[in-house]
């Protein structure tokens, strides 16, 4: 089945599919400068929490590779600036900070082991490629755990794009749907458009259509209508950051879907890697919510669709843990009370879970 490739490390540089241009055009850019990678993350050439993490890891590796530093100390000083620039791009997705912490740890290990700049550079490139490989494996595992919870047949709903484009693997929420579909479950996906950036209409609809998974595109204000119909068997979304108590930040609009799901007895699931946990914060109140440009609300592809008035654009909202029936991760399924289940999953493997802004 078709799996989109949002990012790839090559000898020529980091190649990214420009997600701003989808579905109209499939255009890729090649990056050799970490500053350009930071810009690409900020401007959403690449987006989706795990994919942002992969891009940050590759950006850090690019920075080290193309540095003109002549000593490990000089490289170290430069590396701090490289990571700071990449960290300043998007504040909500914790995968970004998780990936940078991991690259920093590897840098410390490498410089402790050798002064050979060539070896340090190669080690950093290998680590970035490893992060990408692990994301692919993570998605597969999450998909297997989550697929069990999908209905045998009928409608399921998602939000935004938590597919291959958002992770670099098969996707988190869409990975679950794809795995269930490949197992023979006859699913039909309801895809809310996800205003204002239209990740649902532009990206999820594109991915599902290319993958041959049946879908119906709906506008965001149709969500309640469809959930009330009694025909939706489950909802599965991705996550940008999960606090210690299970409160989950995801694309704006997710919270209202979760509340409507509860009202209509539809199970609301989250699929997210353990690297999305932020156990350093007690609850969702502490999650930084990215404010994006109002122009993304007042304009559509450069065309004004509202008068010249004030517009708000919080890019994410927080779904309280009480609305979440289960969280699918690569290490198993977390259930309430999340304070215990998330901590137990976090400590059951080797991934770091202390990333912070």
Q: Which residues are catalytic?
A: 240
Nearest-approach distance from CB 181 to ligand MRU, in angstroms: 17
- Please list, in sequence order, all residues whose beta carbon lies within 8 angstroms of the beta carbon of residue 32, skipping any fewer than 6 positions away: 12, 13, 14, 62, 66
Nearest-approach distance from CB 71 to ligand MRU, in angstroms: 37
Return the number of the residue (14 or 160) whose C-beta is nearest ligand MRU: 160
Return the number of the residue (93 or 189) whose C-beta is nearest ligand MRU: 93
Q: Is the dihedral of CA 290, 252, 167, 350 positive or negative?
A: positive
Nearest-approach distance from CB 21 to ligand MRU, in angstroms: 14
Nearest-approach distance from CB 251 to ligand MRU, in angstroms: 3
Cβ proximity of 351 and 105 under 8 Å: no
Burial class of residue 49, CB neighbours in 10 A (0-12, 13-18, 19+): buried
Nearest-approach distance from CB 80 to ligand MRU, in angstroms: 26
Return the number of the residue (47 or 132) whose C-beta is nearest ligand MRU: 47
Torsion angle (degrees, nearest 10) of CA 186, 192, 194, 195: 160
Nearest-approach distance from CB 296 to ligand MRU, in angstroms: 10
DSSP annotation of 276 reads G
Return the number of the residue (29 or 121) whose C-beta is nearest ligand MRU: 29
Return the number of the residue (315 or 325) whose C-beta is nearest ligand MRU: 315
| CA dist., res. 344 & res. 351, Å (int) | 13
What residue ranges bind ligand MRU (CB under 6 A)? Answer: 47-50, 93, 160, 162, 166-167, 172, 199, 237-240, 250-251, 315
Return the number of the residue (6 or 123) whose C-beta is nearest ligand MRU: 6
Return the residue nearest ligand MRU (CB atom).
238
- Report the DSSP pairing between strands 299-300 and 303-304: antiparallel
Phi, psi (rounded to 5 degrees) for 321: -55, -30
Helix (H, G, I), strand (E, B) or coil at 126: helix
Query: What is the arrangement of strands in the sheet containing 28-31, beginning at the earlier edge strand?
Result: 7-10, 13-17, 28-31
- Please list, in sequence order, all residues whose beta carbon lies within 8 angstroms of the beta carbon of residue 167, skipping any fewer than 6 positions away: 48, 49, 50, 51, 54, 135, 139, 175
| CA dist., res. 173 & res. 270, Å (int) | 7
| CA dist., res. 94 & res. 73, Å (int) | 28
Nearest-approach distance from CB 135 to ligand MRU, in angstroms: 10
Cβ proximity of 149 and 328 under 8 Å: yes
Q: Which of 235, 249, 251, 241 is nearest to 200 (CA)?
A: 251
Tokens of 262: 């509860």
The secondary element (H helix, E strand) that includes residue 290 is none
């Amino acid at each position: 089945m078709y799996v989109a490739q949002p990012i790839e490390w090559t000898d020529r540089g980091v190649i990214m599919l420009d997600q701003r241009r989808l579905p109209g055009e499939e255009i890729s850019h090649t990056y050799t400068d970490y500053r350009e990678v930071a810009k690409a993350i900020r401007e959403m050439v690449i987006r989706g929490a795990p994919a942002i993490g992969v891009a940050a890891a590759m950006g850090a590796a690019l920075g080290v590779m193309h540095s003109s530093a002549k000593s490990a100390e000089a490289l170290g000083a430069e590396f701090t600036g490289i990571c700071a620039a990449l960290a300043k791009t998007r504040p909500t997705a914790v995968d970004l900070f998780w990936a940078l912490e991991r690259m920093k740890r590897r840098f410390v290990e490498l410089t402790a082991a050798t002064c050979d700049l060539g070896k340090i550079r190669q080690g950093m490139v290998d680590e970035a490629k490893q992060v990408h490989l692990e994301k692919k494996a993570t998605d597969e595992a999450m998909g297997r755990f989550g697929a069990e919870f999908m209905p045998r047949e009928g409608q399921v709903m998602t939000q935004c794009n938590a597919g291959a484009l958002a992770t670099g693997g098969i996707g988190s929420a869409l990975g679950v749907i794809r795995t269930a579909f490949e197992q023979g479950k006859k699913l039909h996906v309801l895809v809310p458009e996800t205003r204002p950036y239209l990740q649902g209409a532009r990206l999820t609809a594109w991915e599902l259509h290319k993958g041959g998974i049946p879908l119906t595109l709906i506008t965001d204000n149709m969500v309640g209508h469809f959930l009330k119909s009694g025909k939706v068997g489950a909802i599965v979304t991705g996550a940008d950051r999960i606090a210690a108590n299970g409160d989950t930040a995801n694309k704006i609009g997710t919270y209202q879907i979760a509340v409507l799901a509860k009202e209509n007895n539809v199970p609301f699931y989250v699929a997210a890697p353990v690297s999305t946990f932020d156990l350093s914060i007690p609850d969702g109140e502490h999650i930084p919510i990215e404010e994006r440009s109002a122009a993304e609300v007042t304009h559509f592809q450069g065309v004004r669709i509202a008068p010249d008035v004030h517009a708000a654009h919080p890019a994410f909202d927080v779904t309280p843990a009480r609305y979440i029936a289960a969280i699918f991760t690569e290490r198993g399924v977390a259930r309430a009370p999340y304070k215990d289940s998330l901590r137990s999953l976090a400590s059951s493997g080797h991934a770091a879970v202390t990333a912070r802004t």
